[in-house]
A and B are shown apart, each in its own frame.
Chain A
């Protein structure tokens, strides 16, 4: 199916563990983004990518690592999870530029215990 998919939908992990959230899009969109959504903070940008092998930091990048070896995939890794990283994570893609026409995935709810 065409679209943008995130996996897993739900994840519980322990403090200090490494966890990777997956994002896959089928359109070959150039731009991909990771946002986190927290009550009282809205959507905050973690990292984004303009193309394969090109990534840039967003507003809240600390504690996260991204890679983009293929255009369609943009995984987000928490190297050593902390409770403050408990959140809902959204991946998005855009065909043309950094701001227009975002399509969001359905999100991953991550709980760090």
Chain B
């Protein structure tokens, strides 16, 4: 089955700097790659996703890139703010056919 590796496990950045979280996946059939943000005491919440027919997608300060050949995808957060501090999870699946397989998470701390 699918295996998703996520790095780094923890990340600290200064407010205003950029943060990058990387994930690799094993199943070449996977074609849907969402990112979830989990704030303390809450469930994960979808923040952005990308499908395999797209190489990059942006939503304000957040962007996701996908390299299907190398089987990796990344989350980029620009101009980080303290409220970006949270645990971020990447995930992968065969869209519509398989449940999401999640990475182990990255704890992002934005230092004011």
Counted as pairs of residues, one from A and one from B, with CB atoms less than 8 Å apart, the total is 66
Q: Does A58 lie within 8 Å of B99, measured CB to CB? A: yes
Given contacts A41-B104, A42-B102, A42-B103, contact A100 B32 (CB under 8 A): yes
Q: Majority SS of interface residues in chain A?
A: loop
Q: Majority SS of interface residues in chain B?
A: loop
Residue from the list B43, B89, B101 in contact with A45, Cβ < 8 A: B101
Seen from chain B, the residues whose Cβ lies within 8 Å of a Cβ on chain A are 1, 6, 32, 34, 36, 41-46, 49, 89, 93-105
List 17 additional A-B contacts (Cβ < 8 Å) besides A35-B102, A98-B99: A40-B104, A42-B89, A43-B44, A45-B99, A90-B43, A90-B44, A97-B96, A98-B100, A99-B94, A99-B97, A99-B100, A100-B49, A102-B46, A104-B43, A105-B43, A106-B41, A107-B41
